[in-house]
Amino acid sequence: MSSNKPQVVGWIGLGSMGLAMAQNVQIFLQRDMKSQLRFWNRTASRGAPLESLGGIGCESIAQLVTECDLIFISTSDDAALNAIIDQILAVKDIDGKLFVDTTTVHPSTTRDTNEKLKKLNASFVAAPVFGATPAAESGTVLMAMAGPSQAIDQIARFGKGDIARDVMIVSDQPEKATLLKALGNFLVAGTMEIVGEAQVLAEKSDLGTDMLEKLLELNFGGLMHSSSRRMTQGVYLPEEGQAPWSNLNLGIKDVQHGISCAENVGARLKVAEVALDNMIRARDFSDAHGGRPLDSSSGYGVIRQDSGLDFVNTFVKERDARKEGDYSR
């Protein structure tokens, strides 16, 4: 891609995270480059907020790739990414184009994607982000980039300050960024498991969840405190009609990737295995209650059940008191 001509930027995938990040990119493009983001999503109506900001919808992935030099991808999982890449590879000419994938996928998927694109003389950077939807909306996620240094230089202006609060340059091998993301997801899942167990003990022993939460805030850092708030303030079980911060099914996928990465090198993530079991059981709870969407922190509800408490804590019961349905068991 020539650095002497203006970049035409595209975005594929407008889930909760993708839409939030794409909106920030469009605001940046409109403000600093006087250009407009092209976008595509399987459900076209998801692009309405981008259109209101001046973005331009494309009818197909092929159209977007043909028109753009730099293409961001944000989708749900490995299968979805592979399907998008297949459509990209079907485009007649992608020589010199740069693709940036923000999706959380297995490192082997990232490696395969890079190899496929390189064969057609396209560049690829893996750029997964750390953080839930609210952080994506505010541009305060952390982004990890890995790929050729020249390609990373070309997209640096879209990272810190627009999509993310900061950017970590990991490696020239794209799969190292998604490996780091897998480790990050393990740390988050493990933290939620530990905090969930501690909160249940605090509640059952009459110490009180507020007192433990204050300790977490003052002495154990933002991750533990925010994990606790997701539980005590009902984020783990969103209100009817509200999307979770971080979808439980995607959280299960993320933890499975971490366990797989460990197995591939002869290691084991035992805490992840415990967290995964609780998350799968939380999914069973969701299935038993009409498929009510749950947050990835909802293993907390299972920890409560295993200790003789209701899946639903007092905060959620009071919040949902006027809503139909009994979710106590």
Question: Could you list the active site residues?
Answer: 181
Residue among 199, 237, 248, 200 at smallest CA distance from 220: 199
User: Looking at the DSSP assignment, which residues form a beta bridge with residue 145?
Assistant: 169
- Cα–Cα distance measured from residue 214 to residue 202, given in angstroms and rounded to the nearest whole number: 12
- Pairing mode, if any, of strands 141-146 and 129-130? antiparallel
What kind and span of H or E run contains 72? Answer: strand 70-73
* Cα distance between residue 261 and residue 189, in whole Å: 15
Three-state DSSP at 45 gives: helix
What is d(CA 217, CA 100) in angstroms, rounded to the nearest whole number? 36
Pairwise CA distance, residues 9 & 98, whole Å: 10
Residue 34 in contact with residue 95, Cβ under 8 Å? no
Answer yes or no: are the C-beta atoms of 38 and 58 closer than 8 Å. yes
Could you tell me which of 289, 288, 291, 309 has the C-alpha nearest to residue 300?
309
Q: Tokens 């999982």 label which residue?
A: 77
- What contacts 193, CB < 8 A, 6 or more positions away? 271, 274, 275, 278, 299, 303
169 DSSP β-pair partners: 145
